[in-house]
Each structure stands twice: as C-alpha cells, then as structure tokens.
Amino acid sequence: MTARLLDHTVVLTGATGGLGTAIASRLIEEGAEVVLTDVDEDRCAELAATLRGRTRTAVLDVSSEQDWAGLVGRLGRLDGLVNNAGVGSLGTVVDETRARWDDVIAIDQLGTWLGMKYCGPLLEDGGGAVVNIGSILGTTGGLGNSVAYAAAKGAVRSLTLNAALHWATSGVRVNAVVPGFIGTDQLHERFAGTDRHRSMLANTPMGRLGRPAEVAAAVAFLLSEDAAYTTGTELLVDGGWSAR
Ligand SMILES: NC(=O)c1ccc[n+]([C@@H]2O[C@H](COP(=O)([O-])OP(=O)(O)OC[C@H]3O[C@@H](n4cnc5c(N)ncnc54)[C@H](O)[C@@H]3O)[C@@H](O)[C@H]2O)c1
C-alpha cells in the first residue's frame, strides 16, 4: 500500500467505535499520526496500545466547545480532521423524544460544526482536509424512522457543502463519506437477527453489509493528495443503496 499520509497529523473523533477503529488503523497504515479522541479515556488508551504507529490520545466530547478549544491548543499543527463521532436513534417523526433529539443533534450535527470551527484555523495554516461522516439516512428517507439521526446527518451534508465553499480558495478541502449499513461489531450486537437487520440487507442492492475497512479506505482517499481537486463531494459507500 502507498503511504499517502506521511507527515500528516489527523484528528479522529469517536475513534474507539466500530468505524473509528478501522479508520484509525487505515490512517496509520497510510503513514499518518492519528490523534485518537473519544469520550472514554481508557478506551482511547486501549486502542492506542493495539495500533502500531504514531498516535496521541485525548478525551473529547464533540459537543463541548471547551473540549475542542483544549484539544486544538495542544496540537501545534494539523493536516486532517475526521468528524466520525456519532450516535443513532430509532424514533420516528411522532415517537422520538425531545431529550433524544437534543442528544443526537448535539453530537452528530453540532459536534461536526464545532470540529470544523475549532480545527479550521490550524487546517488553514497547512492546507488540510476535513472528512465528515454522514449517512444514507441523512441523504434519503432511509427506513422511515431514526428521525433525529436523519435530521442531524442531513445537516452534516449541508455543513460539508457550506464549509467546502468557504474554504475553496484557502486550500482546505471538505468532503463527506456517506456509509450505508456497515457491519461493525456494535451493529451486529444490536441488530443481528432482527427485522431491522433483515430490512438493511433486503434494501441494499449488493445484498451484504459494508465492511468498516471499506469506509476507512474512502476516508483515507479523501484526506490524501489523490483527492487534491475534490471538495464538497459525498463519497457513497453504501452497496448501491442510493442507486435504487
Ligand atoms: N455503522 C454504520 O452502519 C454506520 C452507517 C452510517 C453512518 N455511520 C456513522 O459512522 C460514525 C461511526 O459510527 P460507528 O458505527 O462506528 O458507531 P459506534 O457507536 O461504534 O461509535 C461511535 C463512537 O462515537 C463516540 N461518541 C459518542 N458520543 C460522543 C461524544 N459526545 N463525543 C465524542 N465521541 C462520542 C462513542 O464513544 C463511539 O466510540 C457515526 O457518525 C455514525 O453515524 C455508521
């Protein structure tokens, strides 16, 4: 594999989750130093111990401006940001609760904006790149539920386009990776054998769940110079879901 991210420092949020772990691993293979951030300090340290490469760890609640300001103050330089942290919700337009709505919007939507707001000045210094993790539930009607998640991921799409235009002439590229249903351990634990799991498979043209490594490969591409003329785009990693 070509190491396309040598000398790059990349901040990754939600690093200890199913996709975060795969993204961290791929970025390290590509030569990057990865700043592994998550809400749980112990899990960050455990992940860092399993990865062979240059890592730093930091506790970061993406919805906290204080946390972002503290992290950015310690970084020095930055070449990439992956806004990956996210939480789901299954509630429909009528049965979602206000508390759950606020939580999902704070992490998935506000957290994505805060990441770009606070990391932006460092990225501008070196001409860096942002990859926001969206979802097909934010770009389509999904399965007709997960309303708060859909709203937040829809906002991730417009935030990506808006920031891409803002930075178009400053050398900072902003793109989104839009996964379909990815078979992380967490997804299997939660949904294996359920109607929702069957529905995910039935509605995915390729007839299988995605692999975390397939999402990670898309992230690495968008962070790299191979994507030097690519900004404001969404890279679908969805097994054909959006082609239907
Ligand atoms: N797995 C899928 O099928 C799928 C599909 C589409 C999009 N996504 C998106 O991919 C991203 C990663 O998903 P995943 O499947 O790895 O989920 P996951 O639940 O395994 O990981 C999410 C991570 O985010 C962290 N997190 C939660 N709240 C946080 C906060 N306030 N601040 C910082 N970190 C926080 C969690 O600790 C966890 O490590 C999410 O944005 C998710 O919406 C996942």
Q: What's the mean pLDDT in 19-43?
A: 97
pLDDT attached to residue 1: 75
Would you state the pLDDT for residue 210? 98
**Annotated catalytic residue: which of 149, 181, 221, 241?**
149
List the one residue out of 159, 103, 163, 170 whose CA is nearest residue 134: 159
Q: Give the pLDDT band (50/70/90) at residue 2.
A: confident
What's the whole-number mean pLDDT along residues 150-166?
A: 98
Three-class DSSP labels, the chain: CCCCCCCCEEEECCCCCHHHHHHHHHHHHCCCEEEEEECCHHHHHHHHHHCCCCEEEEECCCCCHHHHHHHHHHHCCCCEEEECCCCCCCCCCCCCCHHHHHHHHHHHHHHHHHHHHHHHHHHHHHCCEEEEECCHHHHCCCCCCCHHHHHHHHHHHHHHHHHHHHCCCCCCEEEEEEECCECCHHHHHHHCCCHHHHHHHHCCCCCCCECHHHHHHHHHHHHCHHHCCCCCCEEEECCCHHHC
pLDDT band at 66 (very low <50, low <70, confident <90, very high): very high
Say how far apart CA 215 and CA 235 lie, in whole Å. 10
Ligand 1 centroid, distance to 87 Cα (angstroms)? 5
Q: Atom 23 in ligand 1: which residue has the minimum CA distance? A: 14
Residues 109-130 have a mean pLDDT of 97
120 CB within 6 A, ligand 1: no
What's the pLDDT score for residue 34? Answer: 98
**Contact status, residue 240 vs residue 204, Cβ threshold 8 Å:** yes
Q: How far is the CA of 99 from the centre of ligand 1 (A)?
A: 18
Mean pLDDT of 53-66: 98
Q: 182 CB contacts (<8 Å, ≥6 apart)? A: 18, 19, 209, 210, 211, 212, 214, 215, 237
CATH superfamily for domain 9-234: NAD(P)-binding Rossmann-like Domain (3.40.50.720)
**Nearest C-alpha neighbor of 85 from the set 47, 42, 131, 127:** 131
The pLDDT of 231-236, averaged and rounded, is 98
Please check the confidence at residue 33 and state whether its pLDDT lies above 80: yes
- Ligand 1 lined by 107 (C-beta under 6 Å): yes
To 10 degrees, what angle do helices 111-126 and 147-166 make? 20
* Higher pLDDT pick, 94 / 1: 94
What confidence score (pLDDT) does residue 175 get?
99
Give the closest residue (by CA) to ligand 1 atom 39: 17
What is the residue-averaged pLDDT of the chain?
97
Tokens of 53: 């490469």
Q: How confident is the model at residue 159 (pLDDT cuts 50, 70, 90)?
A: very high
Q: Is 149 a catalytic residue?
A: yes
Q: What is the pLDDT of residues 5-15, one digit of tens each?
A: 999 999 999 99
pLDDT on residue 5: 98
CA torsion through residues 95, 96, 99, 102, sign: negative
pLDDT in the model for residue 90 = 95
Residue nearest to atom 36 of ligand 1 (CA): 14
The residue nearest atom 20 of ligand 1, judged by CA position, is 17
* Pocket flag, ligand 1, residue 133 (CB < 6 Å): yes
Q: How far is the CA of 62 from the centre of ligand 1 (A)?
A: 11
Rounded to the nearest angstrom, the distance between the alpha carbon of 230 and the centre of ligand 1 is: 25
pLDDT at 206 over 80: yes
Residue range 219-240: average pLDDT? 98
- Give the rounded percent of residues in the chain with a pLDDT score beyond 90: 98
Tell whether ligand 1 has an atom less than 6 A from the beta carbon of residue 114.
Answer: no
Q: Which atom of ligand 1 is nearest to the CA of 20?
A: 16
Residue 160 confidence (pLDDT)? 99
Confirm if 222 and 235 have CB atoms less than 8 A apart.
yes
Domain edges within the chain: 9-234
pLDDT of residue 110: 99
Answer yes or no: are the C-beta atoms of 242 and 177 closer than 8 Å. Answer: no
Ligand 1 pocket check for 63: Cβ under 6 Å: yes
Q: Largest Cα–Cα distance in the chain? A: 49
Residue with tokens 């809400």: 39
